Structure 1
């Protein structure tokens, strides 16, 4: 599995309520995306950085999301360029589902 962190420094701070409204407006975009297990929207405490933490099935499926079109969408919505960082996530503990998920052994 792959974890992706996206972040963008906002031109001016936003409140939690503003962020919630913006995030809810874009959330449907991510429903049903191939290989995306979960997305967490994030906002820094000072309201100057927003982004997401994504859990993907594979890097290829994640890379299919972060295209120039996606980057343009972020620029238009937030007025800034995003950063995208990839991390391996071989094990996930999900206490809500009471599961431990692991990539297949290689």
Structure 2
């Protein structure tokens, strides 16, 4: 499995309502999406960042998703260009079914 961190930085001006609205509008697109196990939309007013974290079944699926066209669209939606980091996931603990 592959984790992908997508970070949008807003030096001096995170618009919380904009970030929340983007998340609300985009959620449905990811529900049931092949290859995506989890997606988390987050923001930190303290760090002036919106950070989205994905867990993908494979690196190939993740890399195909993050096309130049997609990056252009999310830059426009969030009002900031993202930085993207791919990491290999060694293990997941999921206590939601406990």
TM-score for both structures, normalised by structure 2: 0.86
Instruction: Give the greater-gyration-radius structure (CA).
Output: 1
5+ residue gaps, structure 2? none
For CA contacts below 8 A with separation 6 or more, give which structure has more relative contact order: 2
The worse-fitting range, judged by mean Cα deviation, of 64-73 and 28-37 is 28-37
Deviation of residue 14 (structure 1)? 1.8
The total of aligned residue pairs comes to 97
Runs of 4+ with >4 A deviation: none
TM-score for both structures, normalised by structure 1: 0.80
Q: CA RMSD in A?
A: 1.7
**More helix, by proportion:** 2
Q: What do the CA deviations read for 1:19-61 (whole angstroms, capped 9, x no partner)?
A: 3222101112222322100100010132621121111101001
Q: Which residue of 2 aligns with 1:56?
A: 56
